[in-house]
């Protein structure tokens, strides 16, 4: 729910999506910075932090493009729903996590629901392409961060430094890319960026904590229940049209999540 809220704030922000994302990620880094002097260094996880930075750069670049071209209710389910399949395969190959029949069934429901959500009144192919790229990048950083948070002695160390590295690296890069336009946007949107940045910390910290404790294929799919909340937020707060097909898709995603919780 928190993740969907962050993306709704991002989507509802100004037309300069790159500046908006720079403020969100930069705010997350600033909020986490004081903790860097308290928690131990993430020894054993620096290489994974570097990989996470690269994957997040691709993810956020694709996200900005997708949200600039289409409604949240159209592309958000595509980007979130394609990630679990890729993450499931990668988690088996890289992390050695098992895939049971129940987990496979739950993932199938989540993916089928995703297809239905995006099937009717589909966005432009360019938007779908960027959304698919976003989904692939999500899968990559999910597996990388799951490996990283397990490699460091204290999970909090990886969480703190992940936000700092990503926020400074990508937030700074996006701000540099926009230049004076970023300064203009920051003057009016910094409060919103700060709120979204704090919510991002809450959302992804919970995810990283879960990845350290359990099966990544199952947990990555459960995280995509954000699609259901995203559809509700898009309809109620962003006033986007959510037709019956998309609503049915959201229901299937919820069923998939229930299967993963009860049987996974």
What's the rounded Cα separation, in Å, for the pair 169 and 244? 41
Q: Please give the angle made by the CA atoms of 31, 177 and 164, to the nearest 5 degrees.
A: 25
Q: What is the pLDDT of residues 124-163, one digit of tens each?
A: 888 889 988 998 998 899 889 999 999 998 889 999 999 9
* The two three-digit tokens of residue 261, written as one number: 């919780």
Give CA–CA dist 156/140, Å, rounded: 21
- Rounded to the nearest integer, the mean pLDDT of the chain is 87
pLDDT at 175 over 90: yes
pLDDT digits (tens, 9 = 90+) for 104-116: 888 888 778 877 8
Taking 90 as the threshold, does the pLDDT of residue 79 lie above it?
no
């Amino acid at each position: 729910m928190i993740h969907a809220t962050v993306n709704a704030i991002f989507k509802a922000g100004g037309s300069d999506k790159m500046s908006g994302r720079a403020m969100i990620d930069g705010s997350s880094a600033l909020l986490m910075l004081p903790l860097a002097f308290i928690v131990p260094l993430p020894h054993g996880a620096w290489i994974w932090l570097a990989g996470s930075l690269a994957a997040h750069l691709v993810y956020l670049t694709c996200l900005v493009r997708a949200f600039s071209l289409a409604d949240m209710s159209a592309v958000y389910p595509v980007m979130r729903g394609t990630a679990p399949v890729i993450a499931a395969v990668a988690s088996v190959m890289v992390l050695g996590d098992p895939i049971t029949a129940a987990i496979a069934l739950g993932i199938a429901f989540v993916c089928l629901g995703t297809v239905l959500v995006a099937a009717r009144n589909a966005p432009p192919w360019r938007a779908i392409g960027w959304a698919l790229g976003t989904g692939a990048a999500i899968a990559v950083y999910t597996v990388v961060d799951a490996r990283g948070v397990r490699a460091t002695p204290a999970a909090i160390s990886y969480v703190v430094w992940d936000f700092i590295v990503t926020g400074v690296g990508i937030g700074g890069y996006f701000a540099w890319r926009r230049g004076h336009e970023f300064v203009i946007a920051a003057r009016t949107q910094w409060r919103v960026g700060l709120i979204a940045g704090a919510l991002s910390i809450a959302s992804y910290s919970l995810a990283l904590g879960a990845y350290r404790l359990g099966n990544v294929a199952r947990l990555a799919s459960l995280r995509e229940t954000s699609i259901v909340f995203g559809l509700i937020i898009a309809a109620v707060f962003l006033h986007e049209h959510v037709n019956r097909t998309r609503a049915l898709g959201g229901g299937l995603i919820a069923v998939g999540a229930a299967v993963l919780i009860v049987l996974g």
